[in-house]
Amino acid sequence: MAAVFLVTLYEYSPLFYIAVVFTCFIVTTGLVLGWFGWDVPVILRNSEETQFNTRVFKKQMRQVKNPFGLEITNPSSASITTGITLRTDCLEDSLLTCYWGCSVQRLYEALQKHFYCFRISTPRALDDALYSEYLYQEQYFIKKDSKEEIYCQLPRENKIEDFGMVPRSRYPLVALLTLADEDDREIYDIVSNFKILEAFTFKQFG
């Protein structure tokens, strides 16, 4: 009798369909929530949304420390003719740009712009501020936390052995460290670091 009743209900009552579908929905929902909780399953998340959230999180963690480190190795052997060896130690991927024979006056004007007008955060920005008044430029990509040694030398074609006594019109070497990744420039207060080589010791400007 029970079987006959169910068959009759199945054939003549649309409510039976609704009840079956609703029951299946409740059971499926319970299983999904029990497995994943209230969070959205990872496979359903948009990859762009994940990347955006990561960038926002990095911006909130603003760093005030200096991400750049640079020193001269064997300063006693460094010279205009033989070159100089630099050791880097940066917290992020960076660019090391060296300017040989940089104009003292143009660099002073560039530093004034950096401190009072706009921050120089890329080598291109410094090139524009210097009006390209330097003898030679070389650039190196620095990996994060890499303590590699980089050898820099003014090409012999320039035929310069000395930049003269202080005060001089050109600095022997100006080293600029900048962050390679544009996103990193948004989380650090210090986005570039100038080091001026005078008598083979560094004068630093943040």
More confidently predicted of 29 and 160: 160
Dist. CA 15–CA 17, nearest whole Å: 5
Q: Check residue 78 and give its pLDDT.
A: 84
186 has a pLDDT exceeding 90: no
Q: Side chain identity at 156, as an amino acid letter?
A: R
Q: How far apart are CA 95 and CA 176, in angstroms?
A: 8
pLDDT value of position 74: 84
**Per-residue pLDDT tens over the stretch 168-177:** 899 999 999 9
pTM of the full predicted structure? 0.66
The answer to whether 83 touches 152, Cβ cutoff 8 Å, is yes
For residues 105 and 101, what is the distance between their CA atoms, to the nearest angstrom?
A: 12
Pick the residue with more confidence: 153 or 47?
153
Closest CA to 104 of 130, 70, 68: 130
| Cross-sheet strand order for the sheet of 149-152 | 70-73, 84-88, 149-152
